[in-house]
Amino acid sequence: MPAALPELSRAEFLEEVRASHVNKIEIEDQEVILGESRARGPFRTGFDQARDAGLPDQMRAWGIEVWYSKSPPGI
């Protein structure tokens, strides 16, 4: 089983985005954001559907690819 990804706080995540270190994010199960920072490597951070409803559009406006995925059953 692969090691868990390092968790970034919301502030750390946005700092990486604003510094143009993130090119693409994946929103998995509408609960977690997975991505990779050129400065910090792979990471994860929380995604709250209500609070973060506008976040995908904001990311796209900053030139970041946004993907959605679902975990396989049983994981």
With a cut of 80, say whether residue 73 has pLDDT above it.
no
Percent of the chain with pLDDT over 90: 87
pLDDT tier at 65, thresholds 50, 70, 90 = very high
Task: Write down the domain spans for the chain.
Answer: 10-69
The rounded Cα 12 to chain-centroid distance in angstroms is: 11
Rounded-to-integer distance, Cα 30 and Cα 40, Å: 23
Taking the model in full, what pTM does it have?
0.88
What per-residue confidence (pLDDT) applies to 71? 79
3-state secondary structure of 7: strand
pLDDT tier at 20, thresholds 50, 70, 90 = very high
Q: Which fold has domain 10-69?
A: 3.30.720
Residue 40 gets which letter from DSSP? T
